């Protein structure tokens, strides 16, 4: 909500603020939603896509759930060779999301 309010007020969204402005939707402009959700807590980070949830611990341990086939996330499939490409893709997606959060924002404020 806050990124939307800041953008509508013409203020720059601080890079430390999580979330995405929905102002383009209100102005009938093209809007591209993120294809994944990033959640963080002390000791782990997790990335949720439409079909999978990938979790990495600070010690490097990984878990992967196929939530389409296992919605309650009972079976970690990270060691299953059938999912090796999915696991690699989600490692990449998580790294990409974390690095994009550190990129400097374009200066957009009016003052």
Question: Do 40 and 86 fall within a single domain?
Answer: yes
- SS3 of 75-89: CCCCCCHHHHHHHHH
**Boundaries of domain holding 18:** 1-33
Q: How many helices (H) and strands (E) does the chain have?
A: 3, 4
80 and 50 inside one domain: yes
Per-residue confidence in pLDDT tens, the chain, 111 aa: 898 999 889 888 887 777 788 888 888 888 887 788 888 899 999 999 999 999 999 999 999 999 999 999 999 999 999 999 999 999 999 999 888 777 666 666 665
Extract the tokens encoding 58: 């600070």
One domain, residues 56 and 7: no
In a shared domain, residues 79 and 67 = yes
Number of compact structural domains in the chain: 2
Nearest to 15 by CA among 98, 110, 111: 98
Question: Which residues are paired to 56 by β-bridges?
Answer: 45, 62
Q: Does residue 111 lie in a domain region?
A: no
Give the C-alpha separation, 90 to 111, whole Å: 40
Q: In this structure, are 2 and 49 located in the same domain?
A: no
């Amino acid at each position: 909500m806050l990124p939307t309010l800041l953008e509508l007020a013409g203020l720059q969204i601080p890079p430390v603020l999580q979330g995405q402005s929905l102002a383009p939707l209100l102005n009938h402009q093209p809007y591209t939603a993120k294809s994944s959700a990033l959640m963080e807590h002390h000791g782990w980070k997790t990335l949720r896509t439409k079909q999978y949830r990938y979790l990495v611990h600070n010690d490097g341990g990984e878990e992967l759930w196929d939530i389409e086939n296992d919605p309650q996330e009972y079976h970690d499939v990270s060691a299953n060779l059938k999912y090796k490409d999915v696991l690699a893709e989600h490692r990449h997606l998580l790294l990409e999301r974390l690095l994009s959060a550190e990129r400097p924002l374009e200066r957009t404020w009016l003052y």
